Chains A and B, each alone.
Chain A
Amino acid sequence: MSVQPATKALSARDFKSDVKPVWCPGCGDYSVLSSITKALAELGLSPEEVAVISGIGCSSRIPAYLNSYGFHGVHGRATALATGLKLSRPELTVLVTGGDGDGFSIGGNHFLHACRRNVDMTYIVMDNRVYGMTKGQPSPTTEPDWDNSALAPAGTGLRPFNPLVIALASGANFIARAFSGDPNGTAQLIVEAIKTPGFSFVEILSPCVTFRPDQREWKTDVHPSPVDPTEDIGRAARRLMTDDGFNLGVLYSGHRKPYALNFDASVDSLSDLEQQFAV
């Protein structure tokens, strides 16, 4: 299963496929796509050694727009599918991409367990605090008073889910937040996330211009985190208590050993196993 090293350095463009995105003009996901291709090129990877796994949603369409291997699975289960792939093919670079509904609502349980299991892969969530694909319902990260959805005309009144808090509490080894309006900064964070062993989680604030036009303001809301990344979980937790949701950069980068399986054989043949059943 060896992978041929790339003979010449590839550019970001070499990672794009010729499939035209279905996204609305101005959608934040375009620049996330660019940031991913930039990061992969910068890492000197070949498209065939990368697999990008997703669920369902606008953001989950990304694999088809890349020239790597990809899997566009079912809604909410991408981290599980990616876990099976990475555990059985540890030499591949595995990315998971999707939305906040996909990852934190229907896929919430898998998110917890992916963080906790700490398999070496990078999970990129394009958080637009709305269900884009199904045309504008509140997601777990939606503000309680957002009242532009027919399903919650008075807002949900629910406390939003804080992905970074959950990732930290569940054991993710690398946690960062990026903004799609800063494609270069985002690319750098993705590079770091991929390079860091274990489960890396990158929340990318990626506006849904169609159903959340208010998110155009995000470009003025975001700001670099005032502090450097920490490897101290307690410190990271305290910082999250004062996080306004727009701090960008690496929050936490730890040293947990990634979870992996051992595929080395200790017996030569099946008959060694079958012996146990002989009378």
Chain B
Amino acid sequence: MTEQPGTYKSVSIALTGAGGAGVITAGNMLLEAAAKSGLYGLFMRSSGPQIRGGEAAAMIRLSSKPVGGPGESFDIMIALDWHNIDRFAIELPLTPNSLVLADPAQGEVPAVIANSGAQIIQLPMKDMAKKIKKGRPNMLALGVVATLIGLPDDIVDAVLERVLAKRGGDALEASRAAVAAGMEIAATYDFDRTLKGDADGGDRWMLSGNEAAGLGAIRGGIRFVAAYPITPATEILEWIAPNLDKIGGALVQAEDELASINMIIGGSYGGTPSLTATSGPGLALMAESLGLAVASEVPVVVVDVMRGGPSTGIPTKSEQSDLNIALFGLHGDAPHLVVAPTSVSDCLFATQWSVHLAEAMQTPAIVLSDQLLGQSKAIIDKPADLAFVSQRSVVEAGVVDYKRYAITQNGVSPMAIPGTAGGQYTADGLEHSENGNPSSQVNDHISQLDKRARKIESFDYGDHWADIEGDGELAVITWGSTAAVVSEAISDLNDKGVNIRMIAPRLLAPALPDKMTEALKGVKRALAIELSHSEQFYRYLKGYFDLPCPVQSYHRPGPLPFRAAELVNEIEKWSAQ
């Protein structure tokens, strides 16, 4: 490319190596140094199926603007070794503009890499590191990248000091020396991808989508979590357990997902806002009891961090294929909430909002995150403090003639929390009358079904129901993690003079057809884009909305994430029709 240094839209860096080579550690440090230099960024990790010791890739995209998805190709790739490179080379697109640093001690550059035409520099990282007492090649690589993208030396050093302080002086000095050696050699390369950060650009945060979801949960008022570990949701649990403990909540590890969903129903029935996190297989196990939460009107929040499916599928890769089970997986007529974050930072908002909605409407909310959002770490603007906290309608002690499932105008009936004198009732998954007694009467069934539907249909969701950008006569309708990539593709098209509108509903259930029609005002044609083999989102749009214009579909399965160039291409093809 002929762009001038400092004007790149973004720079993408891949660090690869066998497990234990430390590419993830180096990647984290690089991201932190970039953040401290005022850059935005996104750190996606890819790892093999091995539990330990498999190959790993740290894929980092940095920019002076917020980053929502992967870049077109990698500008810089540093391979500490070629361990299993064939298996994930497809995730590392390179071009003749790319620079690949390879260690001659690791053998020849594999054809999958060499064939890209990238410039290849041999750098004996292992030997160079060996000359430094306790020196490691990953730190050398960090130094190389830091110089190639123009990160200030003192900031890189501050990160080393913060991260390695606990490990003792030796480790710090060894890393400093390795980083310095990397910087020194990189300064001699005729390759520059200097990015301009804005260190005064306001407060920034660095966190993963899973951490953001955990924080959103706590902000929303969640104080009890029961869960069973599952990739790629486990980091929510790992983050929330110690942090709940600090704020006065607690987590229990359940024996399975059948138990975890029931435990949080029990916790919430007792008055404590409660949540669980899982992935597709766990959500499938929870389906029956989610129906119990609907029928007994107990608010709970379930975060589903989607992976490739069906069955165990591809646990470490992303897909948007749990939409159907989240929307339609409950038996009976079971209105509930489904909310999908549209970015890493939105994992915070969407989860916090979901807690608020679930508590306000006394119904379960499913948060549909995915591996890409959950396990990617992003540099974001510090999120605003949001007013959404759990507010459940409850009755006071001394209540007389209490009816737990009273028919009310908005469908929400005040709940008695165990311990409240006079409020005793039996929560029931059996259809019931207003006072909670089991009933198979026609009238009770209809009026209870009506009230449960009314609760969520009459609620005012405000503008949060969707992210809407632009005002073109052509629109892309998308959802979840794909929204960030669509947004980037649309902005690239804008630069080419093509005007496209984006509508990304955050609220997927209940469907809000009137709001969608409003958002599509003036649109002549729309394209639905999603990461699903069976175009679940497209079919949902066709089935649940009165779309005022023709809609076509672009969809494919994971595990490869969308990149903006692919979507620019597809949108251009479609818009030219």
Residues on A facing B (Cβ under 8 Å): 1-4, 19, 46-49, 51, 53, 61, 63-64, 66-74, 76-78, 80-89, 91-92, 109-110, 112-113, 261-267, 270, 272-274, 277-279
B253-281 contact mask (Cβ, 8 Å, vs A): 1 or 0: 01110111011111111111010000000
What are the residues of chain A within 8 A of B437 when measuring CB–CB?
A: 19, 64
What are the residues of chain A within 8 A of B265 when measuring CB–CB?
A: 73, 81, 84
Q: B338 → chain A, closest Cβ, in Å?
A: 21
B229-268 contact mask (Cβ, 8 Å, vs A): 1 or 0: 0000000000000010111111110111011101111111
Q: Would A265 and B262 count as touching, CB distance under 8 A? A: no
10 shortest interchain CB distances as A-B pairs: A84-B266, A265-B248, A84-B263, A70-B426, A261-B250, A85-B266, A80-B262, A80-B259, A81-B266, A113-B255
Q: A70 → chain B, closest Cβ, in Å?
A: 3
**Count the A-B residue pairs with Cβ separation under 8 angstroms: how many?**
191
Query: Could you tell me the dominant secondary structure of chain A's interface residues?
Result: mixed
What are the residues of chain A within 8 A of B266 when measuring CB–CB?
A: 53, 71, 80-86, 88
What are the residues of chain A within 8 A of B422 when measuring CB–CB?
A: 48
Q: A71-B426, A89-B270 are in contact. Are A80 and B223 (CB under 8 A)?
A: no
What are the residues of chain A within 8 A of B421 when measuring CB–CB?
A: 3-4, 46, 48
Q: A49-B419, A265-B248, A267-B247 are in contact. Are A72 and B426 (CB under 8 A)?
A: yes
Q: Would B429 and A72 count as touching, CB distance under 8 A? A: yes
Instruction: Give me 5 other A-B pairs in contact (C-beta within 8 A), A51-B270, A70-B425, A277-B207 excluded.
Output: A2-B419, A74-B292, A84-B224, A85-B266, A263-B249
Q: A84-B226, A85-B270, A88-B267 are in contact. Are A109 and B255 (CB under 8 A)?
A: yes
**Interface size band for B:** 35 or more
What are the residues of chain B within 8 A of A91 when measuring CB–CB?
A: 419
What are the residues of chain A within 8 A of B429 when measuring CB–CB?
A: 72-74
Determine the distance from Cα of A70 to Cα of B262 in the docked complex, in whole angstroms.
Answer: 14
Q: A81-B265, A84-B262 are in contact. Are A279 and B426 (CB under 8 A)?
A: no
What are the residues of chain B within 8 A of A88 when measuring CB–CB?
A: 223-224, 250, 266-267, 270-272, 274
Query: Could you tell me the dominant secondary structure of chain B's interface residues?
Result: mixed
What are the residues of chain A within 8 A of B130 when measuring CB–CB?
A: none
The answer to the question of B289 belonging to the interface, with a C-beta cut-off of 8 Å to chain A, is: yes
Determine the distance from Cα of A279 to Cα of B205 in the docked complex, in whole angstroms.
Answer: 5
Q: Would A69 and B246 count as touching, CB distance under 8 A? A: no
Contact of A48 among B270, B379, B423, B428 (CB under 8 A): B423
Closest residue of chain B to A64 (Cβ to Cβ) is B426
* 16 pairs, CB–CB < 8 Å, chain A vs chain B: A1-B271, A19-B438, A49-B418, A49-B419, A66-B426, A67-B424, A72-B429, A73-B289, A74-B288, A81-B263, A81-B266, A84-B252, A270-B218, A270-B219, A273-B243, A278-B203
Q: Would A89 and B272 count as touching, CB distance under 8 A? A: yes
Q: B380 → chain A, closest Cβ, in Å?
A: 9
Closest residue of chain A to B264 (Cβ to Cβ) is A84
B189-223 contact mask (Cβ, 8 Å, vs A): 1 or 0: 00000000000000111110001000100110001
Q: A74-B289, A89-B272 are in contact. Are A3 and B267 (CB under 8 A)?
A: no
Contact of A279 among B35, B252, B267, B417 (CB under 8 A): B35
The answer to the question of B498 belonging to the interface, with a C-beta cut-off of 8 Å to chain A, is: no
